[in-house]
Amino acid sequence: MKNATFNGTFPFKPHFKKINGFKMHYVDEGKGAPIICLHGMPTWSYLYRNFIRDLSNANRVIAPDHMGFGKSDIPLNKEYRMHEHIDNLKEFLLKLDLWDITLVLQDWGGPIGLGFAVDFPNRIKRLIIMNTSVGILRDDKKPWYAKLEEKGIYRQFIMNIEAIIKAGMYHKNRVTETMIEAYTAPFPKRNYYIGALAWPKDIPVGKKHPSAKGMIDIRKNLKKLSNKKKILIWGLKDSIFPERVINSWHKIYPNIPTFKIKDASHFLQEDAPEKIISIIKEFVSNQ
């Protein structure tokens, strides 16, 4: 896994850094102002392979694998809570001593990346926000996985990585055997799913949830990033973060330029890489 290129689709040299007691894998390609690409559940830096290849022609592109995902270690003594992932990212980015950062955020990469950004706003230059949110559900609301738990199939569902990837893509014809191999490779045995199983349940439901305070603090401090250049890129076919979530971002950042991609779902990086990369190139070069 450490040196796997998946039929040449992920040809990047693997880098590793000791972070909070585990080895974090990351891709580090190109030179110039840093663009940090943060993945969510249950993907890894492979999600950004097209971004890395194209954007590294003019920028330094760094794509880490969160703890328990991709080529990073899977420590079994961690809770895999949001605060741990944020602490990992903080230590990672501070060790690299990065400035003028452009953050590319999607899914759990959103609150994790913004958790870093609100604590170190002076290191942030731009935000690219894609299909993510920062907030908590009311006590009377059920998270998306509630029905799976009621049916007793939560673990079975999460461990079917291939089905999750396919369900999160609009263009099913873009799914390849190599892609599925890449996304399932980090999970060869049951105990390798510890991070994937923990992430959905870390969605804060009510203020008593263990990650609720951290999420609320990030939301309250988003104003620290008001003066940063930012854009919103949204796949409209996403059932987890539907189009209405865009309105919540407009309330936080009223003037944020918004790019809606009609034919993209949750994994919009797979559905519409060419469109998104083009938007990012123009945004970075003009700002």
Active site annotation includes 85: no
Query: How would you classify the pairing of strands 229-235 and 15-19?
Result: unpaired
Which of these is catalytic: 25, 66, 85, 266?
266
State the Cα–Cα distance between residues 154 and 58, nearest whole angstrom: 43
Sheet strand arrangement including 22-29: 15-19, 22-29, 60-64, 34-38, 101-106, 124-130, 229-235, 258-261
Dihedral sign of CA atoms 47, 219, 239, 242 in order = negative
Compute CA distances 252 → 157, 215, 282, whole Å: 34, 15, 24
Contacts of 130 (CB under 8 A, 6+ apart): 104, 105, 106, 232, 233, 234, 235, 268, 269, 276
β-strand pairing of 22-29 with 34-38: unpaired
Is residue 209 packed enough to be buried (19+ CB in 10 Å), middle (13-18) or exposed (0-12)? middle
Residue 266 annotated among the catalytic residues of the structure: yes
Q: Catalytic residue, from 65, 107, 202, 271: name it.
A: 107
- From the candidates 238, 250, 263, 271, give the one annotated as an active-site residue: 238
Catalytic residues: 107, 238, 266
